Structure 1
Amino acid sequence: MQPHLIVVFYLALAAPLCFVVVQAQKFLPEPPTFIKPCALKDSQSNDCLARNIENIFQHWRNGVPGLSDVGSLDPFRVSRLRIAQRVPPNVDVRVELRNMTTVGLSQAKILNSTTLYNTGHYNLGFHVHLTQIDLTSKYKLKGHILLLNLNSTGVLTSKLDNLEFYVALRMRPLQAEGITFMNVTAIKTDIARIDNIRINLTNLFNGNKELERSANEIFNENWRVLFEILRPVLTQTFDSVLEDRFTKVFRYLPAKYLFKDVE
């Protein structure tokens, strides 16, 4: 997706929105020093929004102060993730990942950002770059990948180089105790670039190191094929995780801390 198509991508999220009134909730009582309120309705504020998102990733890498249900961003942990994908003849697999840890998100760089506003409709979009992501997880795998029949449990490690993706957030104002928050109602992501994925799975063939080495070589030689097959389910998972995190953070930060033109 090229930068000039970002607006089209975000427009697909647009829908009639209205103010919603919710019950009392806790919120951050003072604005963070590293956040500068931006003009949400002014397209010239894109750099301001980009810096705010970068600062949130960096300053709150260990978690959001006072918000216990949002864990650390870097390392980012997911207790369990299930992936099932069948694309004959190359892949028919069920994978369960447990205690997955991802390192590198705090180094996110926002290459550009986009805002859309139209009669109460708020949409934010970001083009994000990550130099490297390191992932470690326990895994359980059953099925076949390429020519390999697999039924194993072990440890998965992976490195992703130069990951770029687009994130689009649809938001609507939300009122609580006279304070306006931004409620994230949808998130869409689109992975634009990955330069390389290196992967290693242990214990693939009950301890046969030679077969394990050969299998991992096949995975790494064909990583582009495997990624494209798994892209839809990985994107859907990414959407769900990001929507959970952004929803909780934006409902904790009064909108005026982020956007100076929202009362």
Structure 2
Amino acid sequence: MSRIIFIVVFCTVLAVQAEFPDDPKPCKYGDSGCIVKMINYLIREKAMQGDHEFNLVKLDPLPVAKMNIKQGAESPVNIDLTFKDNQLLGISKMKFRKIKGFGKDIAGGHEILFNAGKLSLVGPYNIKGKVLILPISGTGKSNMTLVNCDVVLSFTGKPFEKNGETYMEASNLKIITKPERMYYYFTNLFNGDKALGDNMNAFLNDNWEAIFQEVKQSMESAFADIFQTIITGVFSKYPYAKFFEE
């Protein structure tokens, strides 16, 4: 995460005086259809390599320095799961469907609805705790994949002044996810015991929905931190008014 923030801040410092690019053209305030088309264009055309004109870091794959999913003892899924130096794959295939907000009032609420056909977090993990009735432990490589996941992303715009202009920061960002299916795969569970590891992976996938409901809040909070950094980086590139036309 710190790596992403550094890139965003560095690009912002270099480009404070930059002009808004000609392509794509700015949308009118609150024009949901136009804004949806713009975001889909940027994700489709720019996510794989990034775009300095919009402070858009390379999004697919997106490096995730650290993510933690931790549930307390009161939960049936009582785990401490940490991912380090992972990659998030699939952002370039997201389909944005509806936008609310993005009017002249920066401080108003903003909402983005989209679908992620396949979103995978891949890389090293460490886990310990209990899943439903079974103990779990391990350190190795993992793949956690959400399939056909509808997402509602909402945040409050926070205006701030820079060089006499008004910019927007995304604050209080929240994500609600509704996947059609979720898959888990962890290597080297139980110190490499293949039989125990295979059985646990099968158990996790057979009970994916019950497990997801228990870790949903922690997972959504972790993803919200990532997307808040991306959105704030984009809107820190130009004054808010530059993104729109009357």
TM range (shorter): 0.7 to 0.9
SS of 1:121's equivalent?
A: coil
Task: After TM superposition, give the deviation of residue 217 of structure 1 in Å.
Answer: 0.5
Structure 1 residues 250 and 200 mapped into 2: Cα distance closer, same or farther (>3 Å)? same
Q: Indicate whether 1:207 and 2:197 are aligned.
A: no
Greater helix proportion? 2
TM superposition shift of 1:178:
3.4
Aligned partner letter, 1:168: S
Structure 2 matches for 1:1-263, cutoff 5 A?
26-27=15-16, 29-40=18-29, 42=30, 45-61=31-47, 62-65=49-52, 71-86=57-72, 88=74, 90-115=76-101, 117=103, 121-191=107-177, 193-261=178-246
Contact 2:83–2:126 (Cα < 8 Å) also in 1:
yes
Structure 2 CA distance for aligned equivalents of residues 118 and 36 of structure 1:
17
User: 1:236 and 1:159 mapped to 2: Cα distance?
Assistant: 17
User: What number of residue pairs does the alignment pair up?
Assistant: 233
User: CA 1:92–1:35 in structure 2 vs 1: closer, same or farther (change >3 Å)?
Assistant: same
Runs of 5+ unmatched residues, structure 2: 1-12
**Distance of 2:231 and 2:192 partners within structure 1:** 42
Q: Tell me, in whole angstroms, the C-alpha distance in 1 between the residues paired with 2:75 and 2:107.
A: 44
* CA gap 1:28/1:219 in 2 versus in 1, 3 angstroms: farther
TM-score under structure 2 normalisation?
0.84
Q: Which TM-score applies when normalising by structure 1?
A: 0.79
| SS state at 1:153 partner | strand
- The range that moved more, 236-245 or 87-96, is 87-96
- Which residue identity does 1:38 align to in structure 2? C
Distance 1:128 1:84 in 2: 26
Asked whether the equivalents of residues 68 and 222 of structure 2 are also in contact (C-alpha less than 8 Å), the reply is no
Contact 2:145 2:183 in 1 (8 A): yes
SS at match of 2:229: helix
Residues 87 and 244 (structure 1 numbering): CA distance in 2 closer, same or farther, change over 3 Å? same
Consecutive unaligned residues of structure 1, counting only runs of 5 or more, are: 1-23
Structure 1 residues 119 and 26, CA, compared in 2 at 3 Å: closer, same or farther? closer
Match of 1:13 in 2: none
* 1:254–1:59 Cα change, 3 Å: farther
Alpha-carbon distance, 1:166 to partner: 0.7
- Deviates further, 239-248 or 220-229: 239-248
- The whole-number CA distance in structure 2 between the counterparts of 1:121 and 1:79 is 30
Q: CA deviation at 1:25?
A: 7.4
